[in-house]
A and B are shown apart, each in its own frame.
Chain A
Amino acid sequence: MDAIGLWIGAFLTLGIMSFLYKDNPWYKLSESIFVGVSAGYWFITLFWDSIYSKFYIGVSQEGDNYLYVGAILGLMMLMRLIPKVGWISRWPLAFIVGAISGFYLINYFSSNIMRQVANTVMPLFSTDYGQSLFSASVGTIIDNILVAGGTFAGLVYFFFSKEHKGAFGATAKVGIWVIMVTFGATFGYTVMSRMSLLIGRMDFIFGDWLGLIK
């Protein structure tokens, strides 16, 4: 069984890789297998997990009857299949969008705005809030100034309602530079993880499959 699995794995791996050269039947085959199997896999996982474990068990054993509301909304969704009452599927949609908007409004507010501002409000000459003056090394002090200034400039860049001209424009320019450094850094940092994935596959091909690595 394992041997077969191994060969299937190798076949599919090379199939996907072949796309790098150009689109071809081998890739198309792997692709269609991928789509079909994965779609099924996800449905099954979701089904057992949400409908069975959460809904069925919840209703039948824990007696969480409120879960029926979810089911009803789900059924409303299916109403699309009947053209006459299809419009009703908008209600669960409205429900979801509303819920998510409300949820994220607060969530992003506290995590992305409040907390980040709080983290930026730092004494420039100390390692942390409440630390004694000049507890920080020169390097840290420079960092503090850079971070505070950079954050400020970055925010200026995002201003929509003001023309980027004059001093304001200059700050905005600095802002986009800071952001570009961020991007460059992220990119450079990422290369490593991308490579490791390829290495993982090569390990599989050379090691597990061809057995070239002892």
Chain B
Amino acid sequence: MKRQVALLITLFIGTLLVVSVFIPPMESLKETFTLFFDIIAVFAFFLGGGNLLRVHLTKLSKRKQDWVYSIVTLVGFTVVLVIGLFKLGNPGGIAASPTAEGSLFQTLFDNVLVPLSSTMYALLAFFVASASYRAFRAKNREATILLIAAFIILLGRTPFGMMLTSWVPNSLSILQIPNLAIWIMNSANLAGQRAIMIGIGLGVVSMSIRIILGIERTYLGEEK
């Protein structure tokens, strides 16, 4: 019974949103749902954040491996919460936006989160290199095509691409690697992109229908 209600909710809301597109008076429905979602998400955080605390506190109390680091996490978490909620060290006081210039909260962001996230992101440079060394090998035809396309584009992004093929007469300028690179981006790449996009579109449509009709219900629990 409880689950039937849930399925009905999905069915009703889903259909409603689909229909709303064709009915001008219901245009604003999307915005409303977006607002609702944001609000729900914050409530949900009490579960997520709560779980974060629980996990690390147990780790701490049970003196599990690496429990020391749990202290760091816990401290960091609570400190930010306190600073942010009471807007400590915020020039504008409680009225100002939490991310106001010069606020302690913002400083924390600039000096701790910015370096951390951008460095984590920067690691990609290394992984891209190791991946291209390890994975870009002409194992089979697909792999070879992937490899060649990537190689041409890469070359096209360097001055050497131009230098290597500068002897090519302008009548055949398409064969100059940088142009070749751009051409690949605009033709074959475009075709692939479109095929993938249309496919995705159909995938989403069909999955949404399954969900709305309650055929796909794994996320709601499958008690038998």
Contacts of B42 in A (CB 8 A): 43, 46-47, 50-51, 74
Bound Cα distance from A47 to B32, whole angstroms: 18
Residue pair A48, B98 in contact (C-beta under 8 Å): yes
Q: Which of A102-147 contact B (CB under 8 A)?
A: 102-106, 108-109, 111-113, 116-117, 119-120, 139, 142-143, 146-147
Query: B73 touching A150 by the CB < 8 A rule?
Result: no
Which A74-107 residues have a C-beta within 8 angstroms of B?
A: 74-75, 77-78, 80-81, 87-88, 90-99, 101-106
Closest Cβ–Cβ distance, residue A159 to chain B (whole Å): 10
Tell me the bound Cα distance from A177 to B18 in angstroms.
36
| Contact assessment for A151 and B72 in the assembled complex, using a CB-CB cutoff below 8 Å | no
Determine the main DSSP class of A at the interface with B.
Answer: helix
Residue A166 at the B interface, CB < 8 A? no
Q: Are A74 and B13 in contact (CB under 8 A)?
A: no
A206 contacts B by Cβ under 8 Å: no
- Tell me which residues across on chain A come within 8 A of B11, comparing CB atoms: 98
Chain A residues 170 to 214 lying within 8 A of chain B, measured CB to CB, are 175-192, 194-195, 197-198, 200-201, 204
Q: How many residues of A contact B (CB 8 A)?
A: 117
B114 within 8 A of A: yes
Complex contact B6–A139 (CB within 8 A): no
- A20 and B174 alpha carbons, distance in the complex (Å): 40
Interface string of B43-62 (1 = CB under 8 A from A): 11111011010000000000
What are the residues of chain A within 8 A of B125 when measuring CB–CB?
194-195, 197-198
Q: Given the known inter-chain contacts A5-B110, A43-B49, A48-B98, please indicate yes or no for A184 contacting B148, CB distance below 8 A.
A: yes
Indicate if the CB atoms of B153 and A32 lie closer than 8 Å.
no
Contact pick for A101, options B39, B74, B208, CB 8 Å: B208
Least CB distance, A68 to chain B, in whole angstroms: 10
Interchain CB contact under 8 A, A33 and B151: no
What are 13 pairs between A and B in contact, CB < 8 Å? A34-B116, A37-B76, A70-B37, A90-B2, A97-B219, A106-B17, A178-B192, A181-B184, A184-B153, A185-B153, A188-B157, A195-B125, A197-B122
